[in-house]
Amino acid sequence: MDYTKNKKNGNIGHMIKEFYINWNYRRPSWRASFYYNCLSFLTGLSIVCTLIFQQLLKTFNFFINYYCEYEYINFILTDLLIYLTLISLICVFSFLLSRICSILSNFTINDFMSLGKWIERIGCTVKWFPWLVALLIIFWFIINVFNIITIYATPNLWCRNRLNVEGRFVANNCRLFEGRVAACTTDMVERKASDSINYVRKCNDLKFLRNHYYFTFVPDLKNKNYTQCTFNNINICILYKSLIYNHDVIEKIRKMNIEGCLRNPPKDIEDFYDQGMKTSDLYKYSQLFIIGSNVTFFILMFFFYFLKKTTQFDGLFYQSLHNSDIFILRLLRPLTPWS
């Protein structure tokens, strides 16, 4: 066991020593390669986290206790898609730059002369791709600022309100019926997959639930059989099915003694809010996602400016400031390593 521990300590020590040598004695382009490696790794990690978050939201199994209008769910999904696209582009271009800078740190320019026109292409890539990455980083900063402002200034946009236990039962009944997986929906016309998903997304909108009579079947939590008040119970499912075809029977059903369900259930939206814990799980995960993105961004920017201030890059890559530079180039210049 001591041998294994010493071996691990030796490996870590060797890695630190190797990093020290590379940082201090390799060509300056190695530092740029290391930065772009870090950028591609962290953005790759962000891609994985975003995909997991996006999938959890789309499956309708993980997040259930949020109250959110249909348009706000679409807003979150659109925001995640834009973020994912942006981060993916940064990851791809930064990985490409890390490989090219690593190659340049191992060889002199004379070693590349035999490549002919390829040396021009490599030079063009290593000089101008950082400007493209800088532009994408500005967009990343903008979406980070937008998200951090909206999640605290307009929290309802990120589905902050939380449903109580009764509200979660009602929302789940809606998901069962609208997703055509309830006990009595086998004979109903199948919807297209996209239409079914759109309807299921509406099931956490209390206005939609009220307007479609889902409030008629609310579990009586004081009754030990309250779990029977579900659309997996074919008797209750059939009652709801008859209700949507004949709205006149609603008062009759509300007064019926249905096992596990409340008689005269509440009609107001506010009755389904969680008054104790007011923040939904979806909102908490959104906070973690947004704060994590901002922290990652500022760590990378701190490291970038540290690298830029402490490194004298090869004059071959240096791009000096000209009075004729357009505004966008002046804006991007601080975010590129060669300027």
Dihedral sign computed on CA atoms, order 154, 157, 162, 166 = positive
Q: How many CB atoms lie within 10 A of CB 187?
A: 6
The more confidently predicted of residues 31 and 81 is 81
pLDDT value of residue 266: 86
What is the spatial distance between Cα 100 and Cα 339, in angstroms, rounded to a whole number? 18
pLDDT band per the 50, 70, 90 thresholds, residue 294: very high
What is the spatial distance between Cα 151 and Cα 141, in angstroms, rounded to a whole number? 16
pLDDT band per the 50, 70, 90 thresholds, residue 115: low
Provide mean pLDDT across the span 176-195. 74
Residue 190 clears pLDDT 60, i.e. is over it: yes
Residue 148 clears pLDDT 50, i.e. is over it: yes
Burial bucket for residue 62 (CB in 10 Å: 0-12, 13-18, 19+): middle
Q: What angle do CA 28, 34, 36 make, to 5 degrees?
A: 110
Residue 25 clears pLDDT 70, i.e. is over it: no
**Closest listed residue to residue 305, CA positions, set 121, 137, 85, 150:** 137
pLDDT band per the 50, 70, 90 thresholds, residue 1: very low
pLDDT band per the 50, 70, 90 thresholds, residue 29: confident
**Closest listed residue to residue 206, CA positions, set 151, 161, 158:** 161
Q: What is the largest CA-CA distance in the chain?
A: 90
Residue 2 clears pLDDT 60, i.e. is over it: no
Domain residue spans in the chain? 28-160+281-335, 166-272
Assign 3-state DSSP to the chain and report helix, strand, coil percentages, each to 5. 70, 0, 25
Mean pLDDT in the chain? 82
- State whether residue 162 is helix, strand or coil: strand
pLDDT value of residue 82: 96
pLDDT value of residue 39: 94
Residue 283: both structure tokens together: 């909102």
The more confidently predicted of residues 12 and 49 is 49
- State whether residue 181 is helix, strand or coil: coil
- State whether residue 31 is helix, strand or coil: helix
Residue type, 26: R
The more confidently predicted of residues 180 and 95 is 95
pLDDT value of residue 219: 92
- State whether residue 259 is helix, strand or coil: coil
pLDDT value of residue 112: 54
pLDDT band per the 50, 70, 90 thresholds, residue 70: confident
Q: How far is CA 148 from CA 53, 242, 288, 291, 292, in A?
A: 17, 46, 11, 7, 11
What are the pLDDT digits (tens) for 318-338? 666 566 566 777 777 777 777
Hey, what long-range contacts does 179-182 have (CB within 8 A, 24 or more apart)? 179/60, 182/231, 182/232, 182/237
Q: What percent of the chain has pLDDT over 90?
A: 32
The more confidently predicted of residues 207 and 4 is 207
pLDDT value of residue 7: 55
Determine which of 5-19, 24-38, 258-272 has the lowest per-residue pLDDT on average.
Answer: 5-19
pLDDT value of residue 317: 59
**H or E segment at 191?**
none
